[in-house]
Amino acid sequence: MSKIYNIDGVKLGFASSNTRYGKRNDSVVITLGEKSNISCKFTSNSFKAAPIKVAQTNLKSSLRGEKALVINAGNANAATGLKGISNVKKYCKEISSLLKIDERNVIPFSTGVIGEPLPTDKYLSAFKKAINTLNAKNWKPAALSILTTDTKPKLISKEIKVGRKKISVTGFAKGSGMIRPDFATLLSFVFIDGIINSNSLERMHSNALAGSFEALTIDGDTSPNDASVLVSSGNEKNLIKRNSAEERKLENAITDIFEELACLLAKDAEGATKKITIKVFQAKNQKQAKSVAFTVAESPLVKTAMFGNDANWGRILSAIGRDSQINNIEKVSISINGQPMVKKGNLDPRHSEKLAAKAIKKKNIEIDINLGQGKSNFKVLTSDFSEDYVLINSDYRS
C-alpha cells in the first residue's frame, strides 16, 4: 500500500499474549474519540461467543464519551459458558479503568480456537502493553495482530473527495476459512474520518455488507465469533449531513471499500489458488438467484475442479439442479471466463474444450449462469479448494 491515511481521534496499540502464536502480536486495543459513532454487525450463528454477547449488551447503551475496541486472536472464547463471559467482563473492566472510560464503552472481539478456556491474565497483560503503544499510525501492525490462518493482512486506506471535503477511510479485516454469510464470518474494522449520523451509519453499513461480506463464502461454515465494525471518528471538520448528496457519495465509496476487502479475503482463503466469482442472471427472484449462486460457490466438487483446472461444467449444472426452485434445465446456460459451456441445458455448440482448458487456468475465474426465468441477478465471491485447505483444517488446533 502506497499510503495509509490516519483517522482523527483513532489510536491503535498492539502486543503479544505469548500464548498460541508465541511472541507474535495477537492483541489489539483501538481507542476512539468521544464524538465517534459505532455500528456493529455480528455473526448469525446461534451459539454466539462470550465477547459477542458482551459486545451486544454494551452496544445497547448510548456509548457517550471515549470508547475502545479490544481484539484478541488465537482464542475464540466460544463455548466457554458463564466463565467465558466473566473473563471478558474482567478484562473490559480493567481496560476501562486504565483508559478512564465507561466500562460499557469497551467493545470486545475474539477470534481463534473454539472451546478452549481463555488465558485471561495473559491476554489482559497483552492489552495493558498494547495501551502503552497506542499511536495513530499503527494500522499495519494492528492488521497483522488479528490474523489467524491468513497469510497476509487485509488493509485498505483511501482519501475520498466528497463535495469540498477530503475524507479519509482506513480499514482492515481478517478471515481465510469458516466463512459463510448471514453474517459472513470474519473480523472487519473500517473507520471514516468524519461525523455521520448514527442512523445513516447503520444504513451505510447494512448496504455495504449486502454486496460484500454477505456475498462471500469460502466453505459454507459460520463461526460463533465474528463481526463487522464501521466507525465514524467524530471529526467535526468533516460533518456529513443526513440524506445529502455528500452522504450518498460517501456511502458508495464505503461500499466499494467493503467489496475490496471481501476480494482480499477471497484471494487469501485457506489454501486458495484462485478467486472465483459466481454470477447468476435472469433468476425468477432474488431469493432464487442467491440460492443458486451459493449452492454452486459452496460445492466441493465445483471448487476442486477449479483447483484442478478442469472446466467440468457438468458439476456446475448438477449443483444448479440441487436447488428446489430450478426445474427446467432447458433454460440454463453456463460460461466460464467468457467461454461457452452450456446452452439450454446441453453442451453449447460453440464450446471449445481447448479454449475452455486455457480459460480455466487463470487465477481469477468468473462463472456466469443464466437461468432464463426472470430478471433477478446475484453475485457471490468464493475460492477453490486445494490440498492445503484440507491440511490447514485437519491440523488447526496443533
3-state secondary structure 222-251: CCCCCEEEEEECCCHHHEECCCCHHHHHHH
Q: End-to-end CA distance of the chain: give it in Å, rounded.
A: 33
Closest Cα to residue 397, out of 19, 20, 18? 20
Closest Cα to residue 364, out of 333, 337, 334? 337
Paired strand residues for 370: 281, 333
Residue 321: how many other CB atoms lie within 10 Å: 15
Closest Cα to residue 276, out of 255, 246, 307, 235? 307
CA-to-CA distance for 236 and 297, rounded, in angstroms?
A: 44
- What are the cell numbers at 389? 485447505
Residue 185 a catalytic site member:
yes
Residue 267 and residue 151 in contact, taking contact as beta carbons nearer than 8 Å:
no
Angle at 313 between CA 310 and CA 318, to 5 degrees: 125
Closest Cα to residue 194, out of 137, 140, 254? 254
Residue 100: how many other CB atoms lie within 10 Å: 8
Angle at 110 between CA 114 and CA 232, to 5 degrees: 150
Active-site pick, 19, 80, 120, 185: 185
146, 149, 152, 153: CA torsion to nearest 10: -20
> What is the residue-wise DSSP string for 303-353?
HHHHHTT---HHHHHHHHHTSTT---GGG-EEEETTEEEEETTEE-TT--H
Residue 9 and residue 200 in contact, taking contact as beta carbons nearer than 8 Å:
no
Helix axes 50-59, 81-99, angle to 10 degrees: 50
Where in the sequence numbering do the catalytic residues fall? 185
